[in-house]
């Protein structure tokens, strides 16, 4: 987060108002999901899980790479 200049407030906005673009039901120890939201002009992805108490666990936060994601930042490019 610090390396990418993404604040706690930004992460909260992504989790509260973002769009789940991928679910990872088989992740351990908890199922997780990938959430996308634009924060100003910056696209942000948050991977998070919820434990059995309903607490959010942020796994990673990043700005999606144009080489990996299409312009909508929701669709991953297929490797040739």
Per the structure, the complete domain to which residue 67 belongs is given by 1-80
pLDDT at 1: 67
pLDDT tens figures, 3-30 = 777 899 999 999 999 999 999 999 999 9
pLDDT tens figures, 61-76 = 999 999 999 999 999 9
Q: Give the number of domains in the chain.
A: 1
- How deeply is 60 buried, as exposed, middle or buried, from its count of CB atoms within 10 A (0-12, 13-18, 19+)? exposed
């Amino acid at each position: 987060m610090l390396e990418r200049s993404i604040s706690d407030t930004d992460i909260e906005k992504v989790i509260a108002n973002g769009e789940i673009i991928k679910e990872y039901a088989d992740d351990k120890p908890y199922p997780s999901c990938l959430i996308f939201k634009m924060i100003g002009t910056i696209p942000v992805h948050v991977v998070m899980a919820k434990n059995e108490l309903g607490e959010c666990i942020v796994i990673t936060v990043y700005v999606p790479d144009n080489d990996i994601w299409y312009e909508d930042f929701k669709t991953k490019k297929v490797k040739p």
